[in-house]
């Protein structure tokens, strides 16, 4: 018996040790640093209690980053889930009629997901350039006023949100396509016989409820990614102009890696970590029971 326990320990031990050393320990360190004024490279730090958290929620800059993130997520989550579903349904039907075209479009929609964002950011910057960019050129052709897409304080967050949507629609589409493929055709037949044979009634009777588990997953993934928005901000706007596109993770980066304020950055990390944990748990608790139909 003791022999077996020893074997188990030998088998599970090293992996557990690695997890503790490289995941739990650093996380614990971050949690501790969050209550200090530690600066990168400093020899000492002071215990300052919840001051870092007070700054995050109390200062104009902290609240601005939080609000920007919420606005961004509030646009990106519904739009990219909705568009992903719409595109998936379109392509799902197109597969029966024009399978080749459907496959090509699928790839096209998936490209933004596969492409590295930093490289794409360069293309976006060129497209969105106020005087040289293609988008403003088209705007003037259409008789619309050119816009400062990335440097107008009132517009920049929405531009980033649009790019965020562009980036995640393809991924959501693939997930929804997989979900659509698992819906039994008999249910559509049943709905047709029962009178829900087209458009909305068919969608509400069969497609939407049957996609429940897929949708839950897609929403969680999209939400986590939206709240984590960073690369587009870092590569295209650096949070500017005047913090108009400052988001929580970018603020984290800024405070920790540009301002060297490790303590404050740790506090942001802790808040962000707990918020995501809470959000995911909430979504699962609230929705899980209602989408798996048990």
Count of positions on this chain that bind another protein (CB under 8 A) = 53
Shortest distance in whole angstroms from residue 97 CB to another protein: 13
Is 267 near another protein (CB under 8 A)? no
Q: Which residue, 4 or 143, has its beta carbon nearer to another protein?
A: 143
Q: Which residue, 29 or 40, has its beta carbon nearer to another protein?
A: 40
Shortest distance in whole angstroms from residue 123 CB to another protein: 13
Of these, 17, 27, 132, 277, which contacts another protein (CB under 8 A)? 132
Distance separating alpha carbons of residues 275 and 286, to the nearest angstrom: 16
The structure tokens 């969050």 sit at 34
Restricted to residues 146-205, the positions that interact with another protein (CB under 8 A) are 146, 148, 150-153, 184, 186-187, 189-190, 192-197, 200-201, 205
Binding mask 9-38 for another protein (x = CB under 8 A): ----------------------------x-
Q: Which residue, 112 or 241, has its beta carbon nearer to another protein?
A: 241
Cα dist from 265 to 32, 37, 139, 249, 277, whole Å: 12, 10, 40, 9, 18
Is 50 near another protein (CB under 8 A)? no
Q: Is 150 exposed, middle or buried (0-12, 13-18, 19+ CB in 10 A)?
A: buried
Of these, 19, 23, 134, 258, which contacts another protein (CB under 8 A)? 258
């Amino acid at each position: 018996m003791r022999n077996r326990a020893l074997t188990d320990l030998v088998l599970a031990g090293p992996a557990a040790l690695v997890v503790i050393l490289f995941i739990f320990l650093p996380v614990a360190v971050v949690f501790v640093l969050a209550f200090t004024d530690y600066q990168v490279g400093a020899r000492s730090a002071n215990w300052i209690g919840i001051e870092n958290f007070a700054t995050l929620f109390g200062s104009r800059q902290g609240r601005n980053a939080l609000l920007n993130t919420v606005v961004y997520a509030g646009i990106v989550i519904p739009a990219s889930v909705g568009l992903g579903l719409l595109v998936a349904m379109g392509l799902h039907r197109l597969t029966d009629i024009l399978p080749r075209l459907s496959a090509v479009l699928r790839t096209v929609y998936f490209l933004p997901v596969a492409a590295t964002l930093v490289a794409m950011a360069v293309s976006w910057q060129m497209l969105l350039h106020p005087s040289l960019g293609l988008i403003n050129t088209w705007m003037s052709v259409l008789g619309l006023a050119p816009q400062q897409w990335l440097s107008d304080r009132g517009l920049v967050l929405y531009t980033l949100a649009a790019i965020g949507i562009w980036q995640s629609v393809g991924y959501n589409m693939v997930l929804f396509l997989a979900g659509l493929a698992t819906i039994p055709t008999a249910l559509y037949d049943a709905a047709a016989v029962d009178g829900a044979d087209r458009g909305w009634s068919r969608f509400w009777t069969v497609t939407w409820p049957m996609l429940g588990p897929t949708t839950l997953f897609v929403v969680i993934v999209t939400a986590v990614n939206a709240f984590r928005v960073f690369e587009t901000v870092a590569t295209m706007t650096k949070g500017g102009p005047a913090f108009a596109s400052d988001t929580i993770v970018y603020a984290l980066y800024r405070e920790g890696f540009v301002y060297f304020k490790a303590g404050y950055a740790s506090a942001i990390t802790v808040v962000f970590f707990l918020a995501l944990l809470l959000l995911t748990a909430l979504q699962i608790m609230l929705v899980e029971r209602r989408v798996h139909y048990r």
